[in-house]
Amino acid sequence: MDWRKGIRSYLLLAGLVLASGIAGTMLGWTAFGRQLNQYAYDFLFRLEPPAPWVPSSIVLALDERTLTKYGGLIGMRAALADGLNRINEVKPAVVAVDLILPEPGNGDDRLAAAFAKTHNLVLASDMRPDGSGWEDPIPGFGKYATATGEVHADLDKFDAVSRDLPLYKVAGHDRRWALALEAWLVNTGTQITETPDGLLAGPAMIPASVENGRVIRIRYAPLGMIPQVSVFDLDQNPSLADRFRGKVVFAGVTAQTAVRDRWMTPYSNGVIMPGIEMHANVYETIARRMFLVDESLVGVVAACFAFAMAAGLAYAFASGWIENVFTAVLLLASQLLPVIAFRDSIVWPWVPGTLATVFAIASAAAWKHLLVRRELVKAENQKTRYQQTMQFVTHEMRTPLTAIQGSSELISRYGSMPEAKRKQMADVIHSESKRLARMIETFLSVERLSAGQMELKQERFALDALVERCAGRARALAENKQIEIQSLDLPATELSGDQELMEYAIYNLLTNAVKYSPSHTRVTVYVDDESGDRVRLSIQDQGMGMDEKETVRIFEKFYRTKRAEQSGEMGTGIGLSIVAQIVTEHGGTIEVDSKPGKGSKFTLSLRRAS
Ligand code: ADP
């Protein structure tokens, strides 16, 4: 019985832990979960910034002061032309221009002349608002471009933080690579080879899979690391041009008032980054191969279940401080995993593992709490039952002891007592001490028998005489409640075994029948079958009875039914467990047939003496 309960309890724990794993994993993929994952990602970004390096890119900025000097946005083309003319002298490796130039404008001739002298020029194209195609630079500019890259800004991010970038966009039927990627291709003089898992772009294998829409995470350089020089400053200090030597230049507007695409980055904490700087960061990500890849779904799910299982095991098998330490370690591990993975350039979502672990710990702890409480209640019950046993024993023993004490005292005090009286006293002492000894003997015998320390006596005795003796003793009790004990046509069948134990068993059944019946009822003892080598003896009452579940449990030590407890009858729940042991030791069986309020029938099936 007990091991089955144990298994059921462990299955419950396994179920709870499994459900925690599933719940944690699934919540990680809800909108809320994804948002939290992103915040954790940003946090890791700030926690683990890449070590600074010498950037291969530089920003040629059209900043506030430049635009002011050139008369606002209208002077943008002239300003860019002047800037290019200055840096072209030191031969930059590539110049990528993030200005959309689909229509003629002011300063076009100057800009075209500057473009003509620019080596490795990459121009930008943007998607038409309706997505039907691309807005390309006018042919007067386009003819100088080695390549054209798209700079279409997706500003539909749910928290406006730009963490990643698709490496291509499609408008109409025309696919364009991103500006930074084009700059990389031009600089390395290579073409793209596409595989399902990524893009092979010269010396760089970019892990941008088809499945992920060829998106890469941008590994932003520490703020301020990629240099910016404005056209205004170049005008003031032409020697600054030297900084552009051999670099990949990203030229564009940085003026806060004019910038069209503004981004927040995981670092920015509300500070906005102009698009041109973001392109430079994408370039650095590719050039330094600082690719952050997402952990696979299988890996995440497996880790969630591993955490949940570990929590379950900890609570199932550890306890006390080990359990606490294990819980702490587990929580720590679930938090460290994303950090350690991030150091390895793997992005591990924070929510699923965390929630799976927390849920599993919470449910396993609740499970343990209930289990411990159940054990505690059981122990408490056992304690009170033992106390009751002590009460019972002292109560049962006190009656004969009081009689013995009283009688012996009288004898010793009154030396000149009449002989008849003295004999009567002595008889009381004798019979009561025998009763006491028998009671103790029965308890001890049954304990020894069940412990296998004693052989059963093998005497022959008649069933009818035994039952009559028990009935006679029980009648003294029954009379108080006006209960009639009736024994019907008992055969003189012979049994073999320990007569005293058997008497204890039958007497116990009879006194129970009397105890748990109301006044003015009847208890009947009869034999209904004595064919074969067995005899069936039944003791039937018209008492409180019990329901079916209880009929199984009453043979357990210390078990008492609610009805019995409420009846006010003294009891310990030990008697029937002893009866059952005695009967089993004699090779017999005991059954109960009972209905609440209708009465009970206890039937012994006993072996006849051969
Ligand atoms: P006790 O009588 O000391 O409580 P027992 O082991 O003799 O202990 O009996 C166990 C329980 O079985 C009783 O407490 C009572 O609930 C139930 N029981 C036993 N005999 C009867 C009966 N004849 N009718 C109803 N309930 C009974």
> pLDDT tens for residues 450-469?
667 778 889 999 999 999 99
What is the per-residue pLDDT for 1? 43
pLDDT band at 550 (very low <50, low <70, confident <90, very high): very high
Contacts of 576 (CB under 8 A, 6+ apart): 508, 512, 554, 555
Residue 238 has pLDDT above 50, yes or no: yes
What is the per-residue pLDDT for 385? 64
CA of 382 to the centre of ligand 1 (A): 17
Residue 153 has pLDDT above 60, yes or no: yes
State if residue 279 touches ligand 1 by the CB under 6 angstroms criterion: no
CA of 509 to the centre of ligand 1 (A): 9
Which residue is closest in CA terms to ligand 1's atom 23? Answer: 513
State if residue 578 touches ligand 1 by the CB under 6 angstroms criterion: no
What is the per-residue pLDDT for 149? 96
CA dist 174 to 136, 149, 171, 240, Å? 12, 12, 5, 39
Average pLDDT over the chain reads 90
What is the per-residue pLDDT for 272? 81
pLDDT band at 446 (very low <50, low <70, confident <90, very high): confident
CA of 575 to the centre of ligand 1 (A): 8
What is the per-residue pLDDT for 175? 93
CA of 44 to the centre of ligand 1 (A): 69
pLDDT band at 399 (very low <50, low <70, confident <90, very high): confident
pTM for the model: 0.64
> pLDDT tens for residues 260-317?
667 778 887 667 888 899 999 999 999 999 999 999 999 999 999 999 999 999 998 8
pLDDT above 70 as % of the chain: 96
pLDDT, greater one: 456 or 471 = 471
pLDDT, greater one: 389 or 173 = 173
Can you tell me the mean pLDDT for 569-580? 83
State if residue 538 touches ligand 1 by the CB under 6 angstroms criterion: no
Weakest mean pLDDT among 160-174, 216-230, 377-391: 377-391
What is the per-residue pLDDT for 50? 87
CA of 486 to the centre of ligand 1 (A): 20
Residue 534 has pLDDT above 50, yes or no: yes
State if residue 560 touches ligand 1 by the CB under 6 angstroms criterion: yes
Can you tell me the mean pLDDT for 592-609? 95
Residue 70 has pLDDT above 50, yes or no: yes
Burial class (CB in 10 A: 0-12, 13-18, 19+), 43: middle
Task: Judge whether 514 and 474 are in contact, CB under 8 Å.
Answer: yes
Weakest mean pLDDT among 7-11, 277-281, 527-531: 527-531
State if residue 540 touches ligand 1 by the CB under 6 angstroms criterion: no
State if residue 573 touches ligand 1 by the CB under 6 angstroms criterion: yes
> Of the residues 560, 578, 583, 604, which should be mutated to test ligand 1's pocket, given the most ligand atoms within 8 Å of the CB?
560
Secondary structure (DSSP) of 229-256: EEHHHHHH-GGGGGGGTT-EEEEEE--T
